[in-house]
Homo-oligomer: A and B are copies of this chain.
Amino acid sequence: MTGTEPVIFIIDDDPSVRRSLERLMKSVGLVAESFASAREFLQRGHWAETGCLVLDVRMPEISGLDLQEQLARAGIFLPIIFISGHGTVPMSVRAMKAGATDFLLKPFDEQDLLDSVQRAIDQAGREKAQRDEKQEIRERVGALTPREHEVFSLVISGFMNKQIADRLKTSEKTVKVHRASIMAKMDARTLADLVRMAEKAGIQPLQSK
């Protein structure tokens, strides 16, 4: 029911670090997957699941910070834990400002990393649940016909059927028909449901004068 098993993506160019991190994760029952470079990770594709990244900062070609930026731009929101052998304050601040959940210096305490990973997984799960709900609602809204969508906007803005009919230059009867079909398609039982769905999906009401 939690959806999918969370996966810990380990990205480090040092094979011994990868092996040791993988062992650590598996020792506490976590699923881990290793990559020797950011490029290799990016080629994997499909990160639909939850989990987090454990990411080395300094790597050839694409640095950890660059990868973080690329993932953000691509709309991939896996939490990132940085590990670094030669991290500096500006580097860690940049990473944290960009949304990293932690930034650990090697050598680090294994338990510290595990704690951080757990926090990241929890965060990822919460965020994914929210995104999924929002996505689900947006899909339903997308399934509305153009006319239904117009009526929808006005309904969640608090307009009465009569006012909606005026604005759309049609009859109140037709508005009622659309409205019924909106409630069915959106799977909303009450107006309160519908308004809350719009809020969750970030759909703003219109100015009601």
A: which residues have CB within 8 A of B? 84, 87-93, 96-97, 102-103, 105, 155-159, 189-193, 195-196, 199, 205, 208
Contact A192 B158 (CB under 8 A): yes
| Complex alpha-carbon distance, A97 and B92, angstroms | 11
Q: Give every chain B residue within 8 A of A90 (Cβ-Cβ).
A: 105
Q: How far is the CB of A148 from chain B (nearest CB, A)?
A: 17
Q: Give every chain B residue within 8 A of A190 (Cβ-Cβ).
A: 158-159, 208
* A/B interface sample: 14 pairs, CB < 8 A: A89-B89, A90-B105, A92-B96, A93-B96, A96-B96, A96-B97, A158-B192, A158-B193, A190-B208, A191-B191, A195-B195, A195-B199, A196-B205, A199-B199
| Complex alpha-carbon distance, A157 and B196, angstroms | 10
Q: Give every chain B residue within 8 A of A102 (Cβ-Cβ).
A: 93, 97
Contact B193 A196 (CB under 8 A): no
Q: How far is the CB of A92 from chain B (nearest CB, A)?
A: 5
Given the interface pairs A97-B102, A102-B97, the reply to whether A157 lies near B92 with Cβ below 8 Å is no
Q: Give every chain B residue within 8 A of A155 (Cβ-Cβ).
A: 192
Q: Give every chain B residue within 8 A of A193 (Cβ-Cβ).
A: 158
> A192 contacts which of B91, B96, B103, B156 (Cβ < 8 Å)?
B156
Q: Give every chain B residue within 8 A of A189 (Cβ-Cβ).
A: 158, 208
Q: Give every chain B residue within 8 A of A156 (Cβ-Cβ).
A: 192
> A196 contacts which of B92, B93, B199 (Cβ < 8 Å)?
B199
